Structure formats: structure tokens, C-alpha cells
Amino acid sequence: MAIFKGAGVAIVTPMKENGDVNFEKLGEILEEQIAAGTDAVIICGTTGESSTLSHEEHMEAIRYTIDKVNKRIPVVAGTGSNCTETAIMMSQEAERMGADGLLLVSPYYNKATQKGLIAHYTAIANSVKLPIILYNIAGRTGINIEPKTLLYLAENVENIVAVKEASGNISQIADIAAMCKGKLDIYSGNDDQITPIMALGGIGVISVLSNIAPKYTHDLAMSYLEGDVQKSCEMQLKALPLVRALFCEVNPIPVKAAMNLMGKEVGPLRMPLTEMEEAHKETLKKAMIDFGLELA
């Protein structure tokens, strides 16, 4: 059974001006997301700046989110690492805290072989009972999880149940759908490909756009699932200029800027990420206004 269907928000981690995690603000935006119909929360992923959170901050953000959401919608904890032992430790901690699922990015920098990916993911999955979403984003990790690897894991590891596909390669995603034949749920990892991936059998998106347009993103995905393909397609096309603006610099620089422009006060980024270039911010502002978002 799917962890969720529809739009899961890859939620930002709000920061105070001194750089500390702002848990009070995190609570506020979690409540806003739930009220807007978001179907799941994905905490401590790429958009949550997990790479610059300390282990203590990372696990506290997961714990806080699980407690705050309190089973109203699923909470998927990002517990991936390029060190298998670290990923096992974090995954087990998240399970004890009450997470509903795990998101495991492919190991970065090491550039494991496909055999290594199978060993890595199998070891983590065997250490917990939670359902697992694999996260394929070669642009950040340097390694692609090949369709045949996903098929092997889906067939041989019971709690590997889904993939977040952010390769951008529609042909590869079609191969995954054809080879896995329903054994592996597919989530879009790119906000400009929600409807196309759902047309290949995907069941939703893990979304950056949801941070600033949660109801819209939910409706876009659910329209497709409920059979209104034309509406989903129209909503996808309408969102493209805003999505492009949200990725004109590396994520999550633009989405944090957008939330601050809306008065959500999610604070600064942690270095080495820096504030958005002014020219790009103007492009973002225009896209937000054209889309119908209200700026503070």
C-alpha cells in the first residue's frame, strides 16, 4: 500500500537569523500545509538543507515534525547518507520516533556501482520495518539508480516500496514503470513533470512547489488521480514559469526566498548556500505575481 498519494511537501527547514533551526516557525508552516490539504510531509530532504544540519538538529527536526503532525498525514523522514552505517542509525532513530516512512537518497560522492547501491539499500531496509522511498537524483549525487536495480530491489526487499524520480529522464521513468509493473510506486521528484510522470503510472509528487502553493499542487496531482487529466495538464502548464523560477538557482535558495517574500519568515540559508541574486529574485517575484501568489 502506498505511503501516500498526491502531493507531499519537501518542506524547508526554517532558520533564525543566528542560523539556529526555528522550530516554532516549522510548527507554523506544518499547520499551514495540513490546512491546505498537503498529502504528506517529507522532512530533512534536500529542500530541508539536511546536508548542513548537525545529526542532533536533523533528528530533532524529524522528531518535532512527527509530534506536531501527530498522524494527521504521513511523515516521511529523510535519513539517507553516503555512509551506510549512518543511514542505518538515522533510519532506526526515525522509526523509533514514529515516522511513517523513510526517504533514502542515493549515496553521494562515493559513486557506488549498481551492486553497491543494492547492498547499501538492502542493508538499510533490513534494519527497519518502515516503508522506504528511494531517491534518485544523479544531478546531486553523481550516480543514477538504474531501472534494473530498482526492479531487483522492489522484488527482493519487501519494505522498499517506492522511488522519488528526479532524474528528469522521462524515458528512464517509462522503463521503470514498464519493468516494475506496479511493484514500485513512482513519485515525481520534479515539479515540472508531475502530470507526465503520473501519465506513466506515478501516484504523486514530492514537491518543492508545495511550500508556496500547497493546495494548488495537491489539486494538480489529485485531479489526475481522480480522472480529470485535462485539468491536471492545464494546471501543470500554468505552473511551469513559477517552477522554472523556483529552480533558477540551486534548491532551496529560491523557495526560501519565495517564502520570505510571502512573509512566512523562514529565515536565511546555511552556507555554502547563499542568498538569491537580485536579478533572479526579480524574476521570481514576477513569476509569483503572475501565478497569483500574494507577496508581503
Catalytic residues: 135, 164
With residues binned 3-state (H G I as helix, E B as strand, rest as coil), the percentages for the chain, rounded to 5, are: 50, 15, 40
Instruction: For the chain, report the end-to-end CA distance as a whole number of angstroms.
Output: 41
Question: 248, 284 in Cβ contact below 8 A?
Answer: yes
206 is in an annotated binding site: yes
Residue 9 has, within 13 A of its CA and on its CB side, a CA count of 30
Helix segments in 3-137, DSSP class H: 23-35, 55-69, 84-97, 114-126
Q: Please report which helix (H) or strand (E) contains residue 235, including its range.
A: helix 229-246
Q: What angle do CA 50, 52, 56 make, to 5 degrees?
A: 75
CB-count burial class (<10 Å; 0-12, 13-18, 19+) for 72: exposed
Q: Annotated binding residues for pyruvate, as ranges?
A: 47, 206
